[in-house]
Amino acid sequence: MKQTIRTICATLALATGLSAPAMAQDDTFKIGVITFLSGQAAESFGVPAWNGGQLLIDMLNEGGKLPAPYDKPGFGGMKIEAIVVDEAGGATKQVQEFRNLVQREQVDAVVGYVSSSDCLAVPPVADELKAFTILYDCGTPRVFEDNSFEYVFRTAAHATMDNVGLARYLKSRGFEVDSFAGLNQDYAWGQDSWADFTGAMAQLYSDATVKTALFPKFGAGQYGTEISALLREKPALIHSSNWGGDLQSFLLQATARGLHKRTQLALSAGDHVIPQLQDKMPDGIVLGARGVNGLLAKARGGDLQPLTDTLWDSYMERYGVIPVQAPFRMWQGLLGLKMAVEKAMDDNGGKKPTDEELAAAMKGLSWDAPSGRIEMALGGGHQAIQPTAIGVTKWNNETKMMELVDIEYFDARCVNPPEGMKSQDWLAQGFPGAQCD
């Protein structure tokens, strides 16, 4: 009997050992990538981001495909292995997925999250598990303005930058705005974007009045009544942070009714609908891309052009479509992770870094990305700032491609609050400390 029990125990132990995930190896660096692979954010953000991520990982593993300092293979010579997880399903599910990645899959780092609610839910768990985590996309400023985390970093600027950049562009380019209106999705992203935009406009166009602020529900699809209201109110400018299908539907319906001919449309995050709409997107729309991303990066020139061209050309070659904002943000996150890993390895004598060593290396780090110089300058070195740009849509009838013209670039410190100051306070006080030379 005792022999039988011992045999069963041994078999179970062996089976458990075989089925357990492979222990982290020193010659590979395992990352968990979380982004939307289904649902409404998949087509606009999640899928292009993961496409960009796969592309970059393949190129890094091959080595020598990117300009210096990214020409060394993998992360510090370690092969990069990625496990991708769908972000759809809500914050509770994502917390569980995060635990699975860290505890069962034993990833060395997590890179993820488009949704602001996921970005607010995951960091406390990341700190609890002491798991190095990069938030690569989400926009809410609250992650590091209301909290502090040891193991969590955000490698993209928060959303205040988008709307401050938009308002500064209007002022700089001499748009006469005596009144404006908003059409934003009725959830945190839309509400926060509108608050940031009105805060910036109050400083730059103090006499401008708000005609109406519309918040149709997320996924509304039909905007006929809202378009009538906007046509009746006749604001000089309409602000929208809408994205994805909501933005596409709004543009299709608004242009059919001539809204864009009567008022100036300004879309703070609209570049990602260009590949789908192409010539259905009217000329003359003031457009942002949440950073110097997509067409705004392609048109920039300068020292970073080889890196931007590498992303642009390789993405076009593999996927047959222009890269919009999402792959740019994924690249800046992964390139930041590469720099942090290699910096930590320089400090520890070339060993695979621990989560603590990675966090120490990432804190306050700065690096070049296709979207510009990324600096972990806010949130005690955990929150990035980056330059941004705004342009105007113009259809090129010869190339049959949408272009952005009249582009203006803004330094990171011109459109982001300084360290230690909350975004809303910065806006209310008239951008103290902004450096816009």
Q: Which residue ranges make up the site for other proteins (CB under 8 A)?
A: 37-40, 42-43, 47, 186, 212-217, 219-222, 224-226, 228-229, 231-232, 244-245, 248-249, 252-253, 256-258, 276-277, 280
Q: Which is nearer to other proteins, 320 or 349 (CB)?
A: 320
Residue pair 171/200 in contact by the 8 Å Cβ criterion: no
Residue pair 36/114 in contact by the 8 Å Cβ criterion: yes
For the chain, report the end-to-end CA distance as a whole number of angstroms. Answer: 83
Q: Which is nearer to other proteins, 215 or 395 (CB)?
A: 215
Q: Which is nearer to other proteins, 202 or 229 (CB)?
A: 229
Residue among 140, 133, 135 nearest 158 (CA): 140
Please, where are the H alpha helices in 177-223?
188-204
Tell the smallest beta-carbon distance from residue 67 to other proteins (Å). 32
Ranges assigned E (strand) in 62-124: 79-86, 109-112
Tell the smallest beta-carbon distance from residue 51 to other proteins (Å). 12
Q: What CA–CA distance (Å, rounded) separates 417 from 9? A: 60
Q: What CA–CA distance (Å, rounded) separates 174 from 84? A: 45
Q: Which is nearer to other proteins, 48 or 74 (CB)?
A: 48
Q: Which is nearer to other proteins, 86 or 411 (CB)?
A: 86
Rg (CA), the chain: 23
Tell the smallest beta-carbon distance from residue 49 to other proteins (Å). 13
Q: Which is nearer to other proteins, 165 or 182 (CB)?
A: 182
Tell the smallest beta-carbon distance from residue 189 to other proteins (Å). 16
Q: Which two structure tokens, joined as six digits, stand for 358? A: 């990675």
152 bridge partner residues = 133
Tell the smallest beta-carbon distance from residue 93 to other proteins (Å). 15
Half-sphere exposure of 337 (CA within 13 A, CB side): 34
Q: What CA–CA distance (Å, rounded) separates 150 from 364? A: 12
Residue 60 DSSP SS3: helix
Tell the smallest beta-carbon distance from residue 245 to other proteins (Å). 4
Q: Which is nearer to other proteins, 54 or 249 (CB)?
A: 249
Tell the smallest beta-carbon distance from residue 118 to other proteins (Å). 18
Residue pair 149/180 in contact by the 8 Å Cβ criterion: no
Q: Which is nearer to other proteins, 221 or 364 (CB)?
A: 221
Q: Which two structure tokens, joined as six digits, stand for 122? A: 């995951």
Tell the smallest beta-carbon distance from residue 388 to other proteins (Å). 26
Report strand pairing: 388-396 vs 401-410: antiparallel
Q: Which two structure tokens, joined as six digits, stand for 360? A: 């120490």
Q: Which is nearer to other proteins, 225 or 396 (CB)?
A: 225
Q: Which is nearer to other proteins, 38 or 148 (CB)?
A: 38
Tell the smallest beta-carbon distance from residue 114 to other proteins (Å). 14
Q: Which two structure tokens, joined as six digits, stand for 53? A: 């991520």
Q: Residue 146 to residues 157, 198, 396: CA-CA distances in angstroms?
A: 16, 21, 45
Q: What CA–CA distance (Å, rounded) separates 234 from 236? A: 6
Q: What CA–CA distance (Å, rounded) separates 346 from 255? A: 55
Tell the smallest beta-carbon distance from residue 218 to other proteins (Å). 9
